[in-house]
Chain A
């Protein structure tokens, strides 16, 4: 934040292509990594569990942002892709005894395949029409899981999976699962950062900005749109698998349309077309209800009676959540990410105005 970018020269191609060309940025990344490594030792299990939920949500939000934010396609069927990943992994883990490092990519790939199929209408239709088409995808997948016992594992439609094991050690406490989730969340972040500045990512952005122009300059729309759906669904599938391992069970009721909408809210609040935005959105949507509750628990007593507080907290949370989405859409359509950029560019030239 408080640094100058002058006086630093890139003399090789490697330096120019680095993810973080500035030394200060590299130090910041190192500091974040250090903080994340200390976190499970310094924080109470409860806070670790919150971070775990954020980590899972981050992977899902990144995936959805690749599709919605970078490629400009819409999907309200993402929760269904998560359930595809979850059930694929759960079936492989239980029926064939596969370990997590095999079920995780398998779940992702299955979701990618299904996602690419659901994405086929995107070749013809856009916007609202595509939204409805993906909604149909969500409902069809839900129905299929619900009615095919071979997938759902019986009438209850839930499959218990064993905890992930690494070198013979079972990962079961929140702290152990933290490392498990952190690894894949970090992988997802680095993967997305690199994806969006690669040839593929730039093709996605070109399609988002103007698909006809993109086609004219030689981007194969057919391929890249389906690829966007596949990659995005891969992330969603992995989210589903992570979730399954985190909870110890795959259950389709956790991946209903409300979940799809929650993830859309994350990327809208965080910022469309931005990696940082996806992470901030995941953090924000997960923490907001918790923060409102803690605030009311501690200071709400001054205003309301104890019996009322129990009623007010959840309703206030809904109102607050809805209000914030409207506020963001009106005041800062580019989300938290843009807010952060504004702050940063203000301090970049501080104390001058520009």
Chain B
């Protein structure tokens, strides 16, 4: 017990020295706090998403930054752990970050209260709680991408369109990961059952989600649904593709939520041949056919380097680009409104709430964020695994907006 605090004090003093020597005498810059997970439970996402984020920021900086100020995205990997995320947030705050790019539902939940107290914006695209879309209740949390509620509505809408425009008397299976995120869409789905008159049966997959033979057999041979909506994470989407294929359920009647539809999932399921026909919802455009991605390749070429290999995993890489692009757009809105680069986190909040008509050549949906709607409309786009890549199956759309609005207001 004795003298140990000496150790603690010494370590902290050393840490203080290290930290202070870093950020000296640099030119005017705007700091973004970027939380990443390249090594934890969801590292398959992070290793592609975070390089995408950095590349877009580098692109902006290579063009002169925002209002003359360079942007520094300070990345901290929290390994999908909450204490590390708390520490990372405090570090970002110390560095003067004007916004925090959160990563992970438990981390978002854990930091919500502190972000609100400190009046710093945190963005939570594709995770966190759906209720955070309500800007009145969560003034400093911005989902900026379709929440699980919007995704559920989008999936049902997609099934309806595929099944001839009416779901009356149809059967839909909801195959989900048995955790809070997996259960979150249930209220929306139940409301839609009433509205559209279809029959729904839910199939929970317990953690870690690699064993779902029984559920899939139940779906394919007993319930025999007209469509399957899947909401799985990590390793489990690939297992679901494999199992559904094995029991002979047509994958062209399956639509997955956003975390079950990446190149990595297809490859893990046994390749594009196996997954042919599988649909996936997306909140960022997929593929390499966007001008901004060509600009990034150009930027690397100018430096005499090949384009980063992460770019090949377009689903997650593009999401990183989308998140960075929306952040930069919010910052540039803030800089414009303020008439200078000495912006505060609150200016950035207002900057987010003015985002409109920013599509980055189709990679970003036509978001419209305002002080009430922090989700920007809940836009999704469906892509299909076809001939060795993801092929666009729909344009950007938002489904059942009035129903979702009503649920958000009462939730």
Contact = CB atoms under 8 A, between A and B. Distances in A.
B298 interface: no
Interface in A190-233: 193
A248 interface: yes
B402 interface: no
A20 B16 CA distance: 32
Given A43-B16, A50-B90, 7 more contacts: A45-B94, A155-B184, A290-B87, A295-B18, A297-B22, A311-B47, A311-B51
A307 B7 contact: no
A53 B12 CA distance: 13
A306 to B, nearest CB: 8
B8 interface: yes
Contacts of B86: 49, 53, 247
Contacts of A291: 11, 14-15
- Number of chain B interface residues as a range: 35 or more
Interface of B: 1-9, 11-12, 14-16, 18-19, 21-22, 36, 38-39, 41, 47, 50-51, 54, 75-77, 79, 81-84, 86-87, 90-91, 93-94, 105-106, 109-114, 117, 129, 178-180, 183-184, 186-187, 308
A193 B1 contact: yes
Interface stretch (A24-32, A66-74, A111-119): A24-32
Contact of A189 (B1, B3, B84): B1
A99 interface: no
B44 to A, nearest CB: 14
Contacts of A259: 81
Contact-residue bracket for chain A: 35 or more
Given A35-B9, A289-B84, A315 B113 contact: no
B18 A298 contact: yes
Contacts of A20: 2
Contacts of A254: 82, 106, 110
Where chain A touches its partner, the secondary structure class is: helix
A78 interface: no
Closest A-B pairs by Cβ, 8 of them: A248-B113, A314-B77, A253-B106, A49-B90, A46-B94, A314-B39, A294-B18, A32-B5
Given A146-B180, A253-B105, A293 B76 contact: yes
Contacts of B22: 297-298
A57 interface: yes
Nearest to B111: A247
Contacts of B3: 1, 28, 32
Contact of B113 (A39, A146, A247, A293): A247
B79 A247 contact: no
A279 B6 CA distance: 12
21 contacts: A29-B2, A32-B3, A35-B5, A39-B9, A47-B16, A160-B112, A160-B113, A248-B114, A249-B109, A251-B82, A253-B180, A276-B1, A276-B2, A279-B1, A279-B4, A289-B84, A297-B18, A307-B51, A310-B38, A310-B51, A314-B39
